[in-house]
Structure 1
Amino acid sequence: MKNKIIYWVSTLWLALGMLSTGIVQVLKMKEEVDMFARLGYPSYFLTILGVWKILGVIAVLVPRFSLLKEWAYAGFFFAMSGAVFSHLACGDEAKEFFGPTLLLVLTVVSWYFRPADRKTISANLNQ
């Protein structure tokens, strides 16, 4: 029961964070466009990343499709670790990479505590 609570709390916070940042990116809000430019990324990358985040949230939350969930978690991990590295590489202050770091931690916690019915078959065989 404890693992289920940890899973759902971390997953819902992850979904909220990814959905809200995905929407901000798809809408190309000025602050986000400015930040991406400062990090050295083109503005069209906002649309790509935002759409992937929104689709990833759907994949993680809907029942079944365990392989798709693995891909979504991997995408979240790559996107957020890339964001943390980008902020570090640009010499940003800690407050700038707090959000991506939190989402990275939530991704790992949600993935680790996911129920058996949300894992791929090969992962179920190893347990």
Structure 2
Amino acid sequence: MSEKTKKISYWFFTLWLSLGMVSTAIVQLMKLPEEVEKINQLGYPSYFLTLLGVWKLLGVIAVLTPKYVLLKEWAYAGFFFAMSGAAYSHIVMGHPLSETLPSVLLLALTIISWSLRPKERKLF
């Protein structure tokens, strides 16, 4: 893959990831009744929605902002843990694939974006 193609792919997947994280963060921060019910079904308290929403917004800012490479690594790690935890929680609770798939998609986008990041956005 050429450097130009890799860079275009990185930004495509990173923007898609960012859009997904921002949109879910907004829904979580709004504490819609459906979201509160979902988080409670998973065994988590409703205040967890605020925590996740704020962390996701801060993570998107970190991933999209130039420089601060160490902060980007932490943001990607946070996205990975949040989305793998969400997917696992849905699976353990026996939720249908339709409820598990969004977190799996965001997990995949996190991994793809992280693996395609340009050299200036890498720690090592």
Q: TM-score, normalised by structure 1?
A: 0.94
Match of 1:80 in 2: 83
What's the % identity of the aligned pairs?
61
Q: Which amino acid aligns with 1:69?
A: K
Q: Which amino acid aligns with 2:39?
A: F
Look up the SS of the partner of 2:62 in the other structure. helix
Match of 2:122 in 1: 119
Match of 1:44 in 2: 47
Give 2:23's match in structure 1, choosing from 20, 25, 32: 20
Look up the SS of the partner of 1:53 in the other structure. helix
Find runs of 4+ consecutive structure 1 residues off by over 4 angstroms: none
Cα distance in 2 for residues equivalent to 1:98 and 1:4: 27
Q: Which amino acid aligns with 1:10?
A: F
Cα deviation for residue 11 of structure 1 reads 0.2
Give 1:68's match in structure 2, choosing from 64, 67, 71: 71
Cα deviation for residue 29 of structure 1 reads 1.1
Cα distance in 2 for residues equivalent to 1:118 and 1:51: 23
Cα distance in 1 for residues equivalent to 2:93 and 2:19: 27
Give per-residue Cα distances to partners, 1:19-45, cap 9 Å, x unaligned: 010111111111111100111100000
Match of 2:113 in 1: 110
Cα distance in 1 for residues equivalent to 2:77 and 2:20: 16
Cα distance in 2 for residues equivalent to 1:41 and 1:32: 11
Q: Does 1:54 align with 2:57?
A: yes
Structure 2 residue runs of 5 or longer lacking an equivalent are none
Look up the SS of the partner of 2:17 in the other structure. helix
Cα distance in 1 for residues equivalent to 2:33 and 2:8: 37
Q: TM-score, normalised by structure 2?
A: 0.96
How many residues end up aligned between the 2 structures? 121
Cα distance in 1 for residues equivalent to 2:65 and 2:32: 28
